[in-house]
């Protein structure tokens, strides 16, 4: 009996030792999703943390008159699909960054004119059907009234230019041109109209 009792007690402690040795923490690593500093728009992630492989869904809300800039949505150097806005969380903490740009950036056309109006970050310019530069200027947005104000600063009076820098400073003659400023009014993100006219401009990506 004493021998059996000893063996029983030994077995009990052996089980305790085995359980104790096997009780290591094997919980999977949790990684986080953080949104970087943004201007002219916001991004939210759901969920904001998880194990590697967790599907993350993004919600993107540009400010009024802005849009997500193409190929700017990424973490580190990895681009995120801007159409589906979902990706699998890698095995690391990540910070999502993006850029928002004005909806005016790009090319526009007025139906009755052959000129293409192109908007860059700080200037606008036009080209005719032969690809010659014809005019350029600066532009600003009045967000409160959804108006776009174009100031024309240069114009090709006689010969259209091969180089945008060949455009000369505008010296407007009322007999030739009576305006050097255009004010566009919002119709939709892809249509604007010059106030006081029937000139509707349509986006042509």
Question: Which CATH number do you get for residue 145?
Answer: 2.40.128
Is there a domain that residue 130 lies in?
Answer: yes
Is there a domain that residue 152 lies in?
Answer: yes
Q: How many CB atoms lie within 10 A of CB 81?
A: 10
Asked if pLDDT for residue 94 goes beyond 80, the answer is yes
Is there a domain that residue 87 lies in?
Answer: yes
Domain hosting residue 66, numbered range: 31-102
Is there a domain that residue 192 lies in?
Answer: yes
Q: Are residues 94 and 111 in the same domain?
A: no
Is there a domain that residue 13 lies in?
Answer: no
CB distance 88 to 183 below 8 Å: no
For the ranges 4-8, 22-26, 69-73, 114-118, the one whose mean pLDDT is highest: 69-73
Q: How far is it, in rounded angstroms, from Cα 141 to Cα 92?
A: 40
> Can you give the pLDDT at residue 164?
86
Is there a domain that residue 112 lies in?
Answer: yes
> Can you give the pLDDT at residue 173?
54
pLDDT digits (tens, 9 = 90+) for 136-147: 999 988 877 788
Is there a domain that residue 146 lies in?
Answer: yes
């Amino acid at each position: 009996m004493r021998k059996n009792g000893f063996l029983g007690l030994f077995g009990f402690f052996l089980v305790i030792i085995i359980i104790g040795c096997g009780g290591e923490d094997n919980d999977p690593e949790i990684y986080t999703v953080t949104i970087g500093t943004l201007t002219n728009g916001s991004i939210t992630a759901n969920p904001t943390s998880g194990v590697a492989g967790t599907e993350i869904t993004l919600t993107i809300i540009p400010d009024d008159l802005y849009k997500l800039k193409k190929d700017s949505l990424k973490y580190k150097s990895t681009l995120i699909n801007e159409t589906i806005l979902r990706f699998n969380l890698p095995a690391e903490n990540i910070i999502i960054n993006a850029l928002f740009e004005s909806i005016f950036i790009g090319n526009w056309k007025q139906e009755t004119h052959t000129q293409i109006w192109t908007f860059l970050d700080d200037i606008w310019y036009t080209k005719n059907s032969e690809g010659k530069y014809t005019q350029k200027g600066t532009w600003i947005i009045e967000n409160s009234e959804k108006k776009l104000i174009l100031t024309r600063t240069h114009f090709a009076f006689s010969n259209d230019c091969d180089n945008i820098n060949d455009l000369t400073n505008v010296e407007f003659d009322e007999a030739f041109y009576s305006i050097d400023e255009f004010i566009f009014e919002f119709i939709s993100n892809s249509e604007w109209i010059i106030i006081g006219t029937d000139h509707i401009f349509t986006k042509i990506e």
